Amino acid sequence: TLIDHLSTKWQAPSNIALVKYWGKYGMQLPANPSISFTLNACRTITTVTAMKGTHGFNISYDGEPKPDFAPKIEAYFKRIADYCPWIANYHFDIDTHNTFPHSSGIASSASSMAAMSVCMMDFESTITGQEMDFHKASFLARLGSGSACRSLKGSAVVWGTHDEVDGSSQYFGIDKSNYLHPVFQDFQDTILLVDKGEKVVSSTVGHELMNGHAFAKARFEQAHENLSTLKKALQEGDLDTFIKITESEALTLHAMMMTSHPYFILMKPKTLSIIEEIWAFRKETGIPVCFTLDAGANVHMLYPHENNEAVQGLINSKLAQYCQNGHYICDQVGTGAKKC
How many CA atoms, within 13 angstroms, populate the side-chain half-sphere of residue 40?
13
Q: Least Å distance between CB 2 and ligand PMV?
A: 33
Q: Least Å distance between CB 29 and ligand PMV?
A: 12
Task: Tell me: does residue 38 bind ligand PMV (CB under 6 A).
Answer: no
- Helix pair 134-144, 70-80: axis angle to 10 deg: 130
Task: Tell me: does residue 34 bind ligand PMV (CB under 6 A).
Answer: yes
Within 8 A by CB and 6+ apart from 114, the residues are 12, 13, 44, 137, 138, 141, 148, 149, 151, 152, 337
DSSP letters, 174-215, are -PSTT-S-HHHHT-EEEEE-S--S--SS-HHHHHHTTTT-TT
Task: Tell me: does residue 190 bind ligand PMV (CB under 6 A).
Answer: no
Q: Which of residues 125-154 bind ligand PMV (CB under 6 A)?
A: 145-147
Task: Tell me: does residue 92 bind ligand PMV (CB under 6 A).
Answer: no
Binding string, residues 247-266; x marks residues near ligand PMV by CB under 6 A: ------x-------------
**Which of 6, 12, 17, 137 is in the footprint of ligand PMV by CB under 6 A?**
17
Q: Which of residues 60-89 bind ligand PMV (CB under 6 A)?
A: none
Within 8 A by CB and 6+ apart from 86, the residues are 2, 123, 124, 127
Amino acid at 92: F
Task: Tell me: does residue 21 bind ligand PMV (CB under 6 A).
Answer: yes
**Which of 32, 96, 109, 117 is in the footprint of ligand PMV by CB under 6 A?**
109
Summarize as ranges the residues that interact with ligand PMV (CB under 6 A). 17, 20-22, 34, 109, 145-147, 203, 253, 294-295
